[in-house]
Amino acid sequence: MSGRLILVRHGQTVANVAKKLDTLPPGAPLTSAGQQQALALAERFGSGGRPALLVSSVALRARQTATPVSEAVDRGLDVVEGLHEVQAGDLEGRSDEDAHKVFMGVFRSWYKGDLDERIPGGESGHDALGRYLPQLDELRAAHLGGAGDPGDVVVVSHGAIIRLAVTAMSGVDPAFAVTNHLDNTDAVILAPTPDGGWRLEQWADVLPPFEGPSRGGADDPMG
């Protein structure tokens, strides 16, 4: 089996608990529960196939989640610019219902194909994908494009941008992606295809076909 791209949402943060829109790096640290989630994630990877590469976004929560994995699998951690969460702009730090409605309303527009829509003072869909997807393309070219078994590339990143990016990469039904949030340390697994595309293999605990009602998942807007 060739190497896969595994996109992992970070562990729980104090901002997640408070349902704050926390997107500007470095951002909030992990809670004690988030630290335990990171250790459990490390155990999962430590007992399975050792990844060929471990990457995190620049955000503190992503680095804190990835560090125990790095230690468990004896791999260095590469911190890569461009893999941070969708930027909330004027909504940054807010936890009120009105802010959540605006944030999620823009996301729903993106899933309907209107990537020009912009979070007030923040990013458009084009902005977010334009700095996120090229980083994944570079990782693929460098680590998933060779002969033999290159091993998996694990990227610790953020829930909202992972869902948006995977929709663009794999062609999964946007109606599935917009309603199936990712819990902390949930993973989405993609396999590279010979034509340069991606095949979605797993979305948290969901296997193909990726359709039907929401599985639930995170109750914070960043999932």
Q: What is the greatest pairwise CA distance in the chain? A: 51
Binding-site residue numbers are: 9-16, 61
Interacting residues of 155 by C-beta distance below 8 A, sequence separation 6+: 5, 6, 7, 8, 55, 56, 80, 83, 136, 139
Catalytic pick among 84, 85, 158, 181 = 85
Binding-site residue numbers for substrate are: 9-16, 61
Q: What is the pLDDT at residue 2?
A: 76
Which of 36-50, 68-82, 116-130 comes out lowest in average pLDDT?
36-50
- Rounded CA-CA distance 8/153 in Å is 11
Q: Which CATH architecture has domain 5-203?
A: 3-Layer(aba) Sandwich (3.40)
- Rounded CA-CA distance 179/211 in Å is 10
Q: What is the pLDDT at residue 211?
A: 78
- Rounded CA-CA distance 53/69 in Å is 11
User: Which stretches within 74-196 are classed as H helix?
Assistant: 97-111, 125-143, 159-170, 174-179
Active site residue 158: no
Which of 159-163, 185-189, 218-222 comes out lowest in average pLDDT?
218-222
Question: Which among 158, 213, 212, 148 has a CA at the least distance from the CA of 188?
Answer: 158
- Rounded CA-CA distance 28/16 in Å is 9
Question: Which among 160, 19, 209 has a CA at the least distance from the CA of 95?
Answer: 19
Average pLDDT estimate for 2-12: 96
Active site residue 117: no
Residues in the chain: 223
The residue extents of the domains of the chain are 5-203
Q: What is the pLDDT at residue 198?
A: 97
Structure token pair of residue 43: 């155990």
